[in-house]
Amino acid sequence: MAACYKVTHTTKYVYSTAVATSQHVAYLCPRELSRQHVREHQLTVDPTPARIVRRIDYFGNIVDQFQIVRPHTTLSVTAESLVDVNGEEPAPDTRDSPPWEDVSRRFNDAVAPPEVSQFVYASPYAPLSREIVALARGSFPAGRPLLEGAIDLMHRIHARFVFDATATVVTTPLSRVLERDRGVCQDFAHVEIACLRSMGLAARYVSGYLLTDPPPGQPRLIGADASHAWVSVYCPANGWVDLDPTNGVVAGERHVTLAWGRDYGDVTPLRGVLLGGAEHKLYVGVSVLPFEDIEASAT
């Protein structure tokens, strides 16, 4: 049975001085997937852009580019989407997963399609290090099934690292996250991605959202009320499997996929180049609510 969610993501910049002109790139439209269908999507920008162009990037994500050519002291960008998420897909069976060394060897021998092998290598936000290798090895003894090791690593990261929204910023290096054992979902995703890649495995960064209010009797997941991030690991027997180290769960019907890439830098929700503006304040608000509940409250 599919669940339908209304996703609202608002970003507002308030500038200390006027911005003369600006150009922006937005990754705010959810992807169309076998487990996810986008019924509607609308992007509202204030001030109204001189032009807005939609394209598909290298990874297959939907990207909106827009330009504002008149002076402004505030910028508001709101993305509203109606998304169906399939809740009936079976959990991955770790018993079907081959030994991790076999898969790693195949990647090293270039026996993998480019759309998979490109996620084996280090990237700017997920660099490799001795600390990363040591952390990864604890989950990948010889002969262990790949998916079993990846899920174990997810649980170990969830147990070790503390979610602390004040501990890091976008530019905080992964080495600092490892030193402090705390950070946010973006950091935990980068830790697991780097660990998996250090073992020669393919892992990609997934940006998205979580259901704000869980169904009765289910725990509220960390990362709701903000954009979220998790990991997708490739297993030949299972395809891409999404793992959420922030919450220690396999991603399911409460996860809405927005975009994916090598790391956060590939899928930053909103970025831009400005002429003027000096300092600014940033406000971000996200809500993911069952659409049926919204309809019921409106009647």
* pLDDT by residue, tens only, the chain of 299 residues: 689 999 999 999 999 999 999 999 999 999 999 999 999 999 999 999 999 999 999 999 999 999 999 999 999 999 999 999 986 666 777 778 999 999 999 888 777 788 899 999 999 999 999 999 999 999 999 999 999 999 999 999 999 999 999 999 999 999 999 999 999 999 999 999 999 999 999 999 999 999 877 777 787 777 777 899 999 999 998 899 999 999 999 999 999 999 999 999 999 999 999 999 889 999 999 999 999 755 555 54
What lies within 8 Å, CB to CB, of 96 at 6+ separation is 147, 237, 238
Same domain flag for 201 and 272: no
Structural domain boundaries, residue 193:
94-264
Find the angle CA(30)-CA(270)-CA(231) to the nearest 5 degrees: 55
- Can you give the pLDDT at residue 88? 61
Same domain flag for 82 and 218: no
Same domain flag for 273 and 245: no
Same domain flag for 63 and 105: no
Q: Residue type for 209, please?
A: Y
Q: Residue type for 65, please?
A: Q
What does residue 109 show for φ and ψ, rounded to 5 degrees? Answer: -90, 10
Count how many domains the chain has. Answer: 2
Same domain flag for 239 and 101: yes
Query: In the chain, helix, strand, coil percent, each to 5?
Result: 25, 40, 35
Euclidean distance between CA atoms 209 and 223, whole angstroms: 8
- Can you give the pLDDT at residue 225? 75
Euclidean distance between CA atoms 286 and 161, whole angstroms: 24
Task: Tell me the CATH number at 140.
Answer: 3.10.620.30
Same domain flag for 102 and 250: yes
Q: How far is CA 200 from CA 120, 173, 215, in A?
A: 6, 22, 38
Same domain flag for 11 and 113: no
Same domain flag for 246 and 206: yes
- Can you give the pLDDT at residue 196? 98
Same domain flag for 148 and 7: no
Query: Which DSSP string do the residues of 89-104 spell out, in sequence order?
Result: PPPP-GGGPPBHHHHH
What residues pair up with 208 in beta bridges, in sequence order? Answer: 228, 257
Task: Tell me the CATH number at 293.
Answer: 2.60.40.2250
Same domain flag for 239 and 271: no
What residues pair up with 44 in beta bridges, in sequence order? Answer: 78
Same domain flag for 9 and 144: no
**Four-point Cα dihedral 270, 273, 275, 280, nearest 10:** 40
- Can you give the pLDDT at residue 110? 74
3-state secondary structure 183-233: ECHHHHHHHHHHHHHHCCCCEEEEEEEECCCCCCCCCCCCCCCCCEEEEEE
Same domain flag for 101 and 39: no
Reduced to 3 states (helix: H, G, I; strand: E, B; else coil), residue 286 is strand
Q: How far is CA 120 from CA 97, 106, 144, 175, 179, in A?
A: 18, 11, 19, 20, 24
- Can you give the pLDDT at residue 96? 81
Euclidean distance between CA atoms 7 and 5, whole angstroms: 6
